Structure 1
Amino acid sequence: MRDFSTFFEECERAPRLNELAEFFSTTASGRAGMPFRPPWLDHRLFPQDLTFRHFSTLHPLRQGPFDQHYLSSIPYRFEEECRLGCAILKYARARKGRLSIYTLGTAEGTMARVIAEIGNGRVETLSCSPNIENLRSFYAFGVTPHAAFFHGPFHHLTPQRLRDDTELRAFADGFDLIVEDTTFQMYSPNRFDQIRFVSQHLKIDGLFIFVEKFTHDDGEEYRRRELQKDYGFKARFFSTADIHEKESTVLKRMNQNEVSLGQMGDTLRNFFSHTFVTWNSGNFYTIISSNNPENLDRFMSKLWPAAIPGEYVYAELPYRLYPESDVRLVSGRSWTL
C-alpha cells in the first residue's frame, strides 16, 4: 500500500483549508463574491444540438452561489463546462454499461448533477467539497438518484473510505472519468503526488480531465492575459474594486501553487501514455489524459470545437502535450482498487 502520510500533512496545511477558507465559505454561501449579473452563455458558439439545449437549460437552474462567481470569472468557462458536459453525456451513450464520474473540488458540483439528471441512469456521479455551504447548495434542489456528494477535501476521499462508506460504496471499483477543476492549484504545486493520489480512483482504461490555470515562462505574457481576463471579460460581471480585491486576497496566494504547462506535461507522462490539450482561455487550459487511446479518441470525437472567441485562445487546438515516445510511466503502478 502506498504511503501518502506526508502528502496528507501537506494538504492539511494548504491555503485552500486555511488562509483561503474564509473566501471559499463566504463565496459559496453568497455572502460575498457574487456577480452583479448572472453568467450567460453565448449560444452563437454552439451547434444546434438537443443535448446542448437540455444541458444549457438545466445548468443555470442548478447553479449555486459559487458557480455563479466562478463562471463569471474565467472567460468562456461556462461554455467550456457545457461543452465538456455534453461530450461526457455523448461518451456515456456510446459505451456499454454505466459511466461513473468523479468531479473533485467542483464547488456545488453543478456540472456533475446536471449530467446525472440528463443521463437518467446511464451516468453515476460523485462530487466533493470541504465547504458545508456547497453541500447545502447541492441538495437545495432535492436529491438526485444518480448524483452523490462527499463533504470533505479531495485527499480525505481514500480508497478505504469508498469501500467503507455505505453511501459511497457504489464507486469502490473506481471511476471511468475524473475531472479536476482548478482544485490542485489551491493546495500546492505538488502535481506529482496530487495526481498519484487521485489516480488511485481511476479505472485502468479511464480518462482524467484537468482544468487548470498555468504559469507562463514570460511573466509579462502571463500578466497580459490576466489583464485581458479581468477587463475584457470579468468587468462584465464584477466592479473594478471587486476585481482588485480578489487579486490581492486570493489570486496572489493561489499563483504560488500554479505550475507551467510544460511542468504539467513532465508530471503527466509519469502516469499517462496519451495527453491532449483541448481548450485554452488565456492562462487556463483543459487537458485530457488516458492510457487507453481508444477511449480517449472516442471521447474527443464527442467534443465540439472550443466555444470561445479566438482572441482568448493562444494555441492551435487540440494538440498532444508530449510525444508518445517520451512517456516514462511510473513502474509497478496499478490503477485498479
Structure 2
Amino acid sequence: MDTTPPAIPFSPDEDLKNSSMLHLADHFHRLATGATQVPAQSLTSHLRHAMADADVVAYHDRLVADAGPLFLHFLASVPYILEEMARIGVALTRLSQTRQADEPRTFSFFEIDAFDGSNGRALAAHSQGLIHTFTTSPNTANQAHFDRYADPTRSLFYPQSFLTLQPRLFAEAPYGRFREGFDYVYETAAFQFYSRDRKAQVNHIKPLLKPGALVFFLEKLNHEDVGQYLERERMKDNGFKTRYFTQEEIDWKRQQMLEQMQNGQVLMPELVEALSSHFKYVYLLWNSTNFYEFVATDDGVRLEQFLNVLGPIHQPEGFCFEPSAIGYVTRAPLPREEERADA
C-alpha cells in the first residue's frame, strides 16, 4: 500500500497569508523607507573601472542613481548582483534590438516582487522604451519611489504580491499593454519568502508567459553540506557586506531575518528539477556565494541568441563556488539537432 502522504494543494492565498513576506512586512517597510539598515557608502561598484563595455557601465550608473532604499539594501547584501543585473539588462536590450528586425514591436519584462522596480525602470530607460516593464511588490512603501522615477509610458507598478496575479488583470487599463504576456521574466529572489514549492510557484506565473519566453530565477539556495553553506555565508558577510554594514547590523539581520528566509530556500537539485518540469532548457548563468541565477525557456534558439550577446561576468575570484556548473543543466535537442537525429 502506498504510504506517501498526499500532496498539499497549492493555495496562493494560503502561501501569502503564511509567508515570511508578510511576517517581515514591518521590517521591509523600514528598509523601503530608509529607516534602517542603510548602506554606509555608495553602491557604485568598485569593479566599475574594469567594465570594458560602455553600455554595461551606463546601465550600472543608471541602476545605482535611481535605486530606492530597499533595492540599495538588496544590492549591498547580494555580492556582485549589481554588476550581474547590468550585464543581463544590456544583453536583453541587445537581444530585443536584434529581434525587432523580424518582430517590429515593443517587448515586455516582468520582475517578480522586485522592490521599487529599480531594475525594470533601468531596463526600460536603457532600451529607450523598446522594452516595457511591469513590477509587482507587496510592500506599498516601494510605490512612492517607483512613482518618483518611473516613466509611466514604459514602466508600471502593481502594489501586490505576484501570488495575487491573474491573467484578467491584464485585460484592464493601465495593464492592458501586457495582455499578450511577457517576453522576459525575472524572479528577484522572491519565491523563498513564500514557500518551498517551486513547481507550483512557476506554474502560477506560466499563464503570463509568451511562447518561448526567457524566465530568469535569482535564488538563494540551501546546500546539502551545512559547512559549505556557512562558508559561503562567511564569504558574503566578511568579504562583501562589511563594505556597507557594521558587524552589528550584519549579526542582527542574521538573527532576525535569515532563519525565516532560509525556511523557504531549496537545494539546487530541487530547483533544477522544478524548472526542468516546466521548461526544456535550463542554464546556470551565475553564482555568488549561496546565490544562483538561472534562465529557463522552451525556446533553445532564443536562449542561444541571448547567450551570444551576453557579456562577461564581473566578479572577483573567490565568490563563485560553482564555476564548473555554469552552463546548461537541462538541454533538449535544438530543432536542427532533432533534424540531424532523424536523418
- TM > 0.5 fold call: yes
Conserved in 1, the CA contact under 8 Å of 2:285 and 2:293? Answer: yes
Work out the CA distance in 2 between the residues paired with 1:183 and 1:70. Answer: 12
Q: 2:247 matched to 1:240?
A: yes
Partners of 1:7 and 1:110 lie apart in 2 by 26
SS across alignment from 2:305: helix
Aligned equivalents of 1:45 and 1:175: distance in 2? 33
Q: 2:159 — aligned with what?
A: 151
1:149-180 Cα offsets, whole Å, 9 max, x none, are 111111112111222x3111111110000000
Distance in 2 (CA, whole Å) between partners of 1:27 and 1:278 is 29
Q: Given residue 117 of structure 1, which amino acid in structure 2 is its aligned partner?
A: A
Shift of 1:74: 1.2
1: CA distance, partners of 2:14 / 2:261: 19
Equivalent of 1:278 in 281, 285, 296:
285
Against the structure 1 CA distance between its residues 293 and 98, is the aligned structure 2 distance closer, same or farther, given a 3 Å change threshold? Answer: same
Partner of 2:94: 90
Is contact 1:45-1:308 (8 Å) kept?
A: no
SS in 2 for 1:126: strand
Residues 117 and 144 in structure 1, CA contact (< 8 A), matched pair in contact too: no
Task: Give the 3-state SS of the residue equivalent to 1:106 in structure 2.
Answer: coil
| Corresponding letter in the other structure for 1:273 | K
Tell me, in whole angstroms, the C-alpha distance in 1 between the residues paired with 2:278 and 2:52: 35
Q: Could you tell me which amino acid in structure 1 is paired with residue 300 of structure 2?
A: P
- For residues 86 and 142 of structure 1, the distance between their equivalents in structure 2, rounded to whole angstroms, comes to 19
Q: Match for residue 10 of structure 1?
A: 15
Equivalent in the alignment of 2:181: 174
Matched, 1:320 2:328: yes
Which of 207, 213, 227 lines up with 1:200 in the alignment?
Answer: 207
CA distances 1:198-246 after superposition (whole Å, capped 9, x unpaired) = 1211111111000010000100000000011001110110001100111
Deviation at 1:323, TM superposition (A): 4.7
Aligned letter for 1:48? D
Call closer, same or farther: CA 1:53–1:323 in 2, change over 3 Å.
closer
Q: Which residue identity does 2:195 align to in structure 1?
A: S
1:63 to 67, 74, 94: 67
Q: What 5-or-longer segments of structure 1 have no aligned partner?
A: 326-337
> Conserved in 2, the CA contact under 8 Å of 1:38 and 1:72?
no
- Aligned residue number for residue 328 of structure 1: none
Name the SS for the 1:95 alignment partner.
helix
Counterpart Cα distance in 2 of 1:139 and 1:311: 38
Match of 1:76 in 2: 80
After TM superposition, the structure 1 = structure 2 runs for residues 292-331 of structure 1, keeping only pairs within 5 Å, are: 292-316=299-323, 318-324=326-332
Alignment-derived partner of residue 265 in structure 1:
272
How far apart are the structure 2 equivalents of 1:45 and 1:89? 21
CA RMSD of aligned residues (A): 1.5
Q: What displacement does 1:38 show?
A: 2.3
Range moving further from structure 2, 268-277 or 38-47: 38-47
> What is the number of equivalent residue pairs in this alignment?
319
> 2:257: which partner in 1?
250
- For 1:176 and 1:222, locate their aligned partners in 2 and report how far apart those are by CA, in whole Å: 34
Structure 1 residue matching 2:11: 3-state secondary structure: helix
Equivalent in the alignment of 1:334: none
**Counterparts of 1:107 and 1:207, CA distance in 2:** 21
Give the residue type in structure 1 aligned to 2:30: T
**Runs of 4+, deviation exceeding 4 Å:** none
In the alignment, is the contact (CA less than 8 A) between 2:121 and 2:150 conserved in 1? no
Which protein shows a greater Rg? 2
Cα deviation, residue 310, structure 1 = 2.1
Given the alignment of the two structures, is residue 112 of structure 1 paired with residue 120 of structure 2, yes or no? Answer: yes
Letter in 2 for 1:60: V
- The whole-number CA distance in structure 2 between the counterparts of 1:315 and 1:179 is 21
